[in-house]
Amino acid sequence: MSRFEIYSPEGLRADGRRWNELRHIKCGINTHSKSADGSAVVEMGASKVVCIVQGPQEPETRSRVREKATLSVSVTVAPFSTTERSKHVTNDRRLQEMSANLQNLFEEAVLTHLHPRTEIVCSLTVIAQDGGLLSCCINAMTLALIDAGLPMYEYVSACSVALFDQTPLLDPNNVEETELASVTVGIVGETDKISLLILERRLGLDRLPPALELGVEGCKVLRQVMDKEVRRHGAMRLASRAE
Amino acid sequence: MSSIEQAFVQSLLEDQKRVSGRRLNEARKLELAFGGSYGHVEVKMGRTRLVAQVSSQVAKPRDDRPFEGLFLITTDVSSMASPRFENGRQTVDELMVTRLIEKAIRRSNALDLESLCIVAGQSCWMVRADVHYLEYDGGFIDASCIAVIAALLHFRRPDTSIDGSRTIVHTLDERPPVPLSVLHVPICVSWSFFDNDIIVVDADEAEQDLRIGSMTITINKDRDICQFTKAGKIPLSSQQIIECCEQAHGRAREITDLIHEKLKQDFEKRNRGNMGFDLAENDR
Amino acid sequence: MLVKRASAQSVNHKVFVRSTKAGNAVKVYREQYLRDDIPCGSQLCTLCAEISVPDAKGDFPVPVLSSAPNSTTKRGPHYVVIDTNVALKAIDLLEHPGCLYDVIVPQIVLEEVRNRSLPIYARLRALTAGHDKRFYVFHNEFRSETHVERTPGESINDRNDRAIRRVAKWYSEHLAKVKKAPQVLLLTNDKKNLELAHKDGINASTLHSYIAEYKDSGDLLDIIPAEESFTKESQTQIYPNYYSSSQILAGIKNGFLHQGKLQISRYNYLEASVHTEAYPKPLLVIGRESMNRAFDGDKVVLEILPKSKWRSPLNNIADEENVDANIAAENDDGQAIVTDEERSILAKDALNAQHHEKVQPTARVVGIMKRNWRFYVGQVAPESVNDKIDSGALRSVFFVPLDKRIPRIRIRSRKPQALVDQRIVVAIDDWPVYSRSPQGHFVRALGEIESKSAETEAILLEHDIEYRPFPKAALDCLPQEGHDWKPGMNDPLFEKRRDLRDLLICSIDPPRCQDIDDALHARELPNGNYQVGVHIADVTHFVKASTPLDAEGALRGTSTYLVDKRIDMLPTLLGTDLCSLRPDVERYAFSVLWELDQNANIVSVEFTKSLIRSRYAFEYEEAQARIDDASQQDDLTKGMRALLKLSKKLKQKRLDAGALNLSSPEVKVMTDSETSDPSSVELKNVVDTMSLVEEFMLLANITVARKIYDAYPQTAMLRRHAAPPATNFDILNDQLRLRGQPQIDLESSKTLADSLDRIQDPNDPYFNTLVRIMATRCMMAAEYFAAGNFAQPEFRHYGLASEIYTHFTSPIRRYADIVAHRQLAGAIGYESLHASHYMKNKLDGICDNINMRHRNAQLAGRASIEYYVGQMLKDNESLQEGYVIRVFSNGFGVLVPRFGLESVVYLQDICNPDEAELDEDTYTLKIMQDGKSRSITVFDTIKVFVKSVKDNKGKRQVKMLLG
């Protein structure tokens, strides 16, 4: 059982945040410029994901030659990413499912038809886990794809929302995720329309709308944060070219 | 599927029509039949046909969960169902089917694992649900979920009793077997997305080949969403999402009632004939 | 803007090392966000009003700390900051309306309390939720000014104490800016903390000296535990290990260890007794440590304690749930096994116990030969569940069994909240030495608490009654023809049956009886004597020995009758159809035919299997009416009149021989026919025809007993009722003497019956019945036995004053009768007897089982009535007359004849228990009520309020209060 109150009557969460607060977000773009075409690191609180993008390039297998560019996504979890070092790191199915979800989501945002008969390889590495794993991956992938110079309709941003009774809690950490049911919401661009919605624990239907609303707002803020980082990085590059 | 066929299906859909003659938000009719042994169910949805069999045995509980029994779901997609499947190799789509059923039923705690404990840390019941696909015409997720949950409801495991510090497992003749503790009945409803923002419920094989994406909602009669998977393709407003959930809830109610109705019929049938069933409890 | 971002500057990194379940140490990293928008909660403060932010619903926090806070005689207006120990130990005082308003509870205190005791945490949270005592939780850990880092080498306790001091300091500085600022006072009983606080210039005081500042502090000080109990305890007392099996074997052989069955008192869970061969009096086992993890009914090995520790039985009542409610289920390990509350119960009692004349040897459990563990029914203790919604994470909660003698069981569940309102079944896994409570796991839920189906199933499970449907193997033994079975089908022995279809046989039973197992007839013989026949359903024709059906019947032992349900021993096909002697159908019977003279003396007797046709199935009152109706002159009615006449003679003869007329407070619950909800309770009334049937059944049983004993002197299935030992009546006789009543004479059953008749109270007609009820409890229980186990004089049935007795007349619902039927059939040469019924060890096993089943069925029946009476009382609280039947030092037992209810009145509910005094010599309890002294003695008539209340654990109990 949790040692702390998950959400106190005074409106504070176990880590001192209020219901509508994101954790601190740190993102970096073009972090691994030598090893990849595009790269990014996203930290949401204590969760940290590195994404590396290669491509568009010639597909390794014939089956991936299509009229549109093929997105291949793989997720690896570092064994030291959790509190207790896990022995069976390859929790295959869960990660494979996550990869498939990422791939489906980004096919919507990336203009894949501009690069027929190519493959875009995205490798995500989870460095640290403290809740919001999927959203962290999505955000990192967006930045890395932008860094790789791939044409996209808009930013893809995601965050999760946990529900404490009727109160939605934005961007839950690991403690909150184990105690409460949570949904991950992802949007493409600055819109109220939800592109990705993943829920894996039982949740009353009537408690869903407030969570969706807060999740969408959270995504919009994340989009701004990412946009700022992209513009900062862009300005820096422009500046260096000007020299 | 040939391009001309694809174009035909797509153009029909754009006219709000389907090859099967169904409306876009109309699911296929469900047929459910229980077999001779406990926990054997055959489900038919259109031409999709599959069988689920639940079985139990005494096993050792997991070290980190000494107070719980074990529950396994296996799905067997073989080339018997359709030439598109290869024996022994799982594609990503098949993996997603397995994961979804797992999330819909196992992770939503439909089966009360705590009630499967016999002696904590030493012995427990291991319940297995095996799903075999006999014929494929789309809608595997929805059909398998119904089959597994119906099989769980139908299944009876041997009774156990305690004598001092010893546990006895009774044979079916010695004591009537007992039902599993099923906490709720999750039902999956899947939608398929097509180009031009077309959304269709319960797609068949041809439609599934053409679709660009899908969404699956698992919900029970008590309005608990057990699982929701939607990754990309057509963006939906939260209002649309709630509408889909309401639709799924309506279907869940229908199917749950159907399962219970069929169960009742089956047990009535079993108890007729020779006095196969005699309650010890009677009104005074 | 809806969403905010926490800034990177506000992140505080918390790193600590924690041990895992597997025993590994892991480093845990947690983020913590420090903030400036946590208000101080004072109405005086204007600064904090500006920084407050609304919650998800848009509501702003309301400052609770008053602008005119409480003050004491010595102190002006002030706010109070409490520390963890004050909250844990003095929660009663914090809840008291007489003191301690405007209290600041630092977050760290709340967290520590939560980890130490969930129930106290819940009470503290309730205080902060209600606004009348003005408690405010200040999240010191999140406010940047009050957050403290643990310094290297500092213990976690010291850091927390420092954090609390920082809160006090911050408050006094923060409030200094407002006008008429109240003082801020830190309450702590920790010496070191107090010293450091003074050094820091913080206003601090101990709880005791602070409370002493109040005007009427006397009463308040009584509520606080002694100052010593505040010192941080590091007691990790555990249960002693059991002796090794070789030690036990040697000990038993040498006679310094003893074994027996542990029986825990129904009145006090801390007391148990064990009957051993070595000691005439039972050995007492008192307290948790001595019981050493033994359960009621366990076969235990005992070691006698030194004589200095011998004592009399406890004379107070205690329920575990009332005593130990504040223990947290989560961190149970290594806690003191004897809580302060328990210690005080035992200590109070020990004072007078030593010098009392009724000293008994005491012992402690050193080993367990055989556990008596079974499935237990009960509920989750709601106060041990803390989540509002189940999160799916594993939680420890306490399970409170229905049976008060069973300790609370710690179970682990992922859905405790869902279980709170449920009647649940739990199995025990283990009781390790380091755990205060046994550990178990959830098995299944029976349904909502108080729902009829769940409570009925609970009663059946608790009394180990087999209520499941009959197994297939047993059902396969029934006749293939089912309900279409006709006499003579597939019956090679049909020839041996006598055709008695022409006799005018009828049955007389209670209303709505479906399983008719006896029928009677009488006709006058030409010689003036009567031929009387008792015809018993021939169950053994269908239930052949050593078949699965027989095994099932033997296991069930008896049918069980609840208020609205009957749990059958045999499948209904037999019970209500093929065996039931229904009117106008031909049925197989086992008949006893006597020739009786005019004075009901037996001239001759004959036993035979027969084929009969009953002419009519009467209800008692219907039969009575028919007999009384002089216009009825048919042969059937004449026969019944003869039966009635003869039965009266038989009864008189029996009473002359000294048969007892004992009493139990039996009532009948009337249920609404539509809803089957209980509508009223009636005492059972008696008509002559009841005793008509009874007399002939007794006669048949006695006659059959003689016959089968002749045929099988070693293994005849008989029933005996031993004479009660005189000592059983010592207390009752003593009480009668004090009342000026004649003594009960135990010379013989005759003298006992006569002396009971003499006990009368002219002012109270019920007094005689009351004494009979109490006398019944002093009697021995009747039991089944195989004839070879006792010498013939000991066969005697004391209550019926018969030399020999068995059960023969109800084979549908008692297994003993089935055995008697088979033995009788063997004795008259109808059918050879199956081996299991003439092998003594087999028969002993059968007897043990049916004795136990018989007792359980009776208890279950009573529990069912109790449940219905409780449901009926739910809406009608009433003032009733009751009788005191037992006194304890902290309460007394009352019997209310109107409902046949017995319950305990606890002194704590009616007066101050400390002022009460128990005089054990006169069985008198002196209490002070509303300033008047009042004495309560056994046999007193008192007015009591009877109501059925749901206690705070959701368990419905009948509660009585002095009227």
Query: For residue B11, is it within any domain?
Result: no
Domain with CATH 3.40.50.1010 in chain C: 37-230
- What is the pLDDT at residue C705? 94
The predicted model gives B169-173 an average pLDDT of 83
> What does residue C292 show for φ and ψ, rounded to 5 degrees?
45, 60
Q: Indicate the range of A204-213, C352-361, C869-878 predicted with least confidence.
A: C352-361
Task: Pick the closest to residue C137 from C184, C105, C177 (CA basis).
Answer: C105
Is the pLDDT assigned to residue C421 strictly greater than 90?
no
* Residue of B92, B236, B245 with shortest CB distance to A193: B236
Instruction: Name C937's bridge partners.
Output: C924
Q: Which fold has domain C876-962?
A: OB fold (Dihydrolipoamide Acetyltransferase, E2P) (2.40.50)
User: Cβ distance C516 to C609 under 8 Å?
Assistant: no
User: CB-CB: which of A186, A193, A200 is closest to B237?
Assistant: A193
Q: Which CATH number fits domain C245-370: 2.102.10.10, 1.20.120.450, 3.40.50.880, 2.40.50.690?
A: 2.40.50.690
Partner residue opposite C129 with nearest CB, options A9, A20, A170: A9
- Residue B252 falls within a domain, yes or no? yes
Asked if A150 contacts A161 with a C-beta cutoff of 8 angstroms, the reply is: no
Task: Say yes or no to pLDDT of A183 above 90.
Answer: yes
Q: Average pLDDT of C22-38?
A: 81
DSSP C742: P
Instruction: Give tens-digit pLDDT for C277-311.
Output: 777 778 888 888 888 889 888 899 988 888 777 77
Residues 6+ apart with CB under 8 A from C779: C662, C721, C724, C728, C798, C799
Q: Which of A24, A214, A220 sits opposite C6 (nearest CB)?
A: A24
> What pLDDT was estimated at residue B274?
43
The answer to whether C482 faces chain B, any CB pair under 8 Å, is yes
Say whether the peptide bond before residue A56 is cis (omega within 30 degrees of 0).
yes
Q: Which residue of A has its CA nearest to C17?
A: A83
Q: Is the per-residue pLDDT at A86 higher than 70? A: no
Q: Please provide the average confidence, as pLDDT, over all residues in chain C.
A: 83
CA distance A203 to chain B (A): 5
Total number of domains constituting chain B = 1
- State residue C838 phi and psi, 5-degree precision: -125, 15
Give the B:C interface size as CB pairs under 8 Å. 106
Task: Give the closest residue to B2 by CA, choosing from A64, B10, B140, B93.
Answer: B10
Residues in chain A: 243
Please check whether residue C485 touches B, CB under 8 A. no
Residue for token pair 């044409």: A151
Tens-digit pLDDT profile for residues C680-736: 666 566 677 888 888 999 999 999 999 999 999 888 999 998 888 887 888 888 888
Cβ contact C586:C611 at 8 Å: yes
Residue at C330: amino acid letter? E
Domain ranges of chain A: 25-242
Under CATH, what is the fold of the domain C37-230? Rossmann fold (3.40.50)
Interface of A with C in 172-211 (CB under 8 A): 173, 175, 178-180, 201
Domain that holds residue B82: 29-270
DSSP secondary structure of B213-233:
EEEEEEE-TTSEEEEEEEEEE
Supply the mean pLDDT for chain A: 87
* Intra-chain end-to-end CA distance of chain C, in Å: 64
pLDDT at C671 over 70: no
Taking only the tens place, the pLDDT of each residue in C586-603 is 999 999 999 999 999 999
CATH code, domain with B186: 3.30.230.70
- Please state the ipTM of this predicted complex: 0.87
User: Is residue C338 very low, low, confident or very high in pLDDT (cuts 50, 70, 90)?
Assistant: low
Whether residue C189 contacts residue C207, with contact meaning beta carbons closer than 8 Å, is answered with yes
Distance between CA B130 and CA B52 in Å, rounded? 6
Alpha-carbon distance B127 to B113, whole Å?
Answer: 9
Lowest mean pLDDT among C556-570, C592-606, C695-709, C864-878: C864-878
* Ranges for all domains in chain C classified under CATH 2.40.50.700: 376-449
Determine the average pLDDT of the residues in C70-97: 84
Residue A189, CB-side half-sphere exposure with 13 Å CA sphere = 11
Give the rounded percent of residues in chain C with a pLDDT score beyond 70.
88
Q: Which two tokens stand for residue B169?
A: 């497992």
In DSSP notation, chain A reads --SS-SB-TTS-BTTS--TTEEPPEEEEESTTTTT-SEEEEEEETTEEEEEEEEEEE--SSGGG--SSPEEEEEEEE-GGGSSSPPS----HHHHHHHHHHHHHHHHHHB-GGGSTT-EEEEEEEEEE-SS-HHHHHHHHHHHHHHHTT--BSS-EEEEEEEEETTEEEES--HHHHHHSEEEEEEEESS-S-EEEEEE-S-EEGGGHHHHHHHHHHHHHHHHHHHHHHHHHHHHHHHHHHH-
**Whole-angstrom Cα distance, residue A24 to residue B243?**
34
Q: Does residue A10 belong to the interface with chain C, where contact is any CB pair within 8 Å? A: yes
The three-class DSSP label of residue C857 is helix
Whether the predicted pLDDT of A85 surpasses 70: no
**Where does the pLDDT of residue B276 fall: very low under 50, low under 70, confident under 90, or very high at 90 and above?**
very low
Residue of C nearest to A174 (CA): C30
- Dihedral Cα C825, C830, C835, C839, nearest 10 deg: 40
Residue C708's pLDDT is what? 93
Give the type of residue at C900: G
3-state secondary structure labels for all residues of C36-87:
CCCCCCECCCCHHHHHCCCCCCCCCCCCCECCCCCCCCCCCCEEEEECHHHH
Q: What are the residues whose beta carbons fall under 8 Å from the beta carbon of B40, sequence distance 6 or more?
A: B34, B51, B52, B53, B54, B151, B154
Per-residue confidence at C757, pLDDT binned at 50, 70, 90? confident
Instruction: For residue B90, tell me if it sits in a domain.
Output: yes
Q: What is the mean pLDDT of residues C219-223?
A: 72
Residue C545 has a CB neighbour count (10 Å cut-off) of 17
Element (H, E) at C637: helix C635-656
Paired strand residues for B167: B162
- The Cα C32–Cα A171 span in angstroms is 14
- Does the beta-carbon distance from A195 to B233 stay under 8 Å? yes
Q: pLDDT band for A242, please (50, 70, 90 cuts).
A: confident
pLDDT at position C183 over 80:
yes
Rounded to whole angstroms, how far apart are CA atoms B249 and B230? 17
The verdict on a CB contact (< 8 Å) between B164 and C475 is: no
Which of A9, A22, A84 is closest, CB to CB, to C5? A22
Helices (H) and strands (E) in chain C, counts: 27, 38
Quick one: pLDDT band at residue C61, thresholds 50, 70, 90?
confident
- Judge whether residue C1 has pLDDT over 50: no
- Lowest mean pLDDT segment, chosen from A143-147, C266-270, C661-665, C866-870: C661-665
Q: So what's the pLDDT on residue B275?
A: 44
Could you tell me if C520 and C643 are in contact, meaning their C-beta atoms sit under 8 angstroms apart? yes
Question: Helix axis angle, C156-175 relative to C191-199, nearest 10°?
Answer: 40
Which residue in the set C5, C30, C396 is minimally distant from A221, CB to CB? C5
Using pLDDT thresholds of 50, 70 and 90, give the confidence band for residue C332.
Answer: very low
B60 and B123 Cβ atoms separated by less than 8 Å: yes
Residues 6+ apart with CB under 8 A from C845: none
User: Is domain A25-242 given the CATH code 2.40.50.100 in the classification?
Assistant: no
Q: For strands B40-45 and B48-59, give the pairing.
A: antiparallel
Q: What is the pLDDT of residues C394-411, one digit of tens each?
A: 778 889 888 888 888 988
Q: Which of C98, C95, C102, C94 is nearest to C171 (CA)?
A: C102
List, for residues C623-666, the tens digit of each pLDDT value: 999 999 889 889 899 999 999 999 999 989 988 888 877 655 55
pLDDT of C685: 63
* C934, two tokens: 């009042």
- Structure tokens, C484: 């279409």
Distance between CA atoms of residues C904 and C892, nearest Å: 6
Residues 6 or more apart in contact with residue C536 via CB below 8 angstroms: C517, C518, C589, C590, C591, C592, C700, C808, C809, C810, C811, C817, C821
User: If contacts are CB pairs under 8 Å, which of residues 218-237 in chain A contact chain C?
Assistant: 218, 220-221, 225
Kindly report, residue by residue over C763-773, the tens digit of the pLDDT: 888 888 888 88
**pLDDT tens readout for residues C467-493:** 888 888 888 888 888 888 888 877 888
Quick one: what percent of chain B has pLDDT higher than 90?
22
Tell me the average pLDDT across C615-626.
90
Contact criterion met (CB below 8 Å) for B148 and B141? no
| Single-letter code of the amino acid located at C496 | K
Tell me which fold the domain C376-449 belongs to: OB fold (Dihydrolipoamide Acetyltransferase, E2P) (2.40.50)
- Note whether residue B179 is domain-resident: yes
Q: Which two tokens stand for residue C782?
A: 């009747």
Q: Quick one: C585 exposed, middle or buried, by C-beta within 10 A (0-12, 13-18, 19+)?
A: middle
- Chain C positions touching B174 (Cβ under 8 A) are 471, 473
- pLDDT at position C700: 94
| DSSP SS3 for C591 | strand
**pLDDT in the model for residue C506:** 93
Q: Residues, chain B, total?
A: 284
Q: Tell whether the model's pLDDT for residue C428 goes beyond 50.
A: yes
In a domain, B278, yes or no: no
Q: What percent of chain C has pLDDT over 90?
A: 18
In a domain, B152, yes or no: yes
- For residue B84, being part of any structural domain is answered with yes
Chains touching chain C through at least 3 C-beta pairs below 8 angstroms are A, B
Q: Tell me, what's the pLDDT at C349?
A: 59
Q: Quick check: B178 pLDDT over 80?
A: yes
Tokens of C778: 């002093």
**B118 and C442 Cβ atoms separated by less than 8 Å:** no
Provide CATH 2.40.50.140 ranges for chain C. 876-962
The first and second tokens of residue C42, run together, are 């004072």
Chain B residue with the nearest C-alpha to that of C515: B284
What radius of gyration do chain B's Cα atoms show?
21
Which DSSP helix (H) or strand (E) runs through C442? strand C439-448
Tell me the three state secondary structure of residue C333: coil
Chains with ≥3 CB–CB distances under 8 Å to A: B, C
Nearest to C302 by CA among C368, C371, C370: C368
CA dist C525 and C530 (Å) reads 5
Contact present, C112 and C135 (Cβ < 8 Å): no
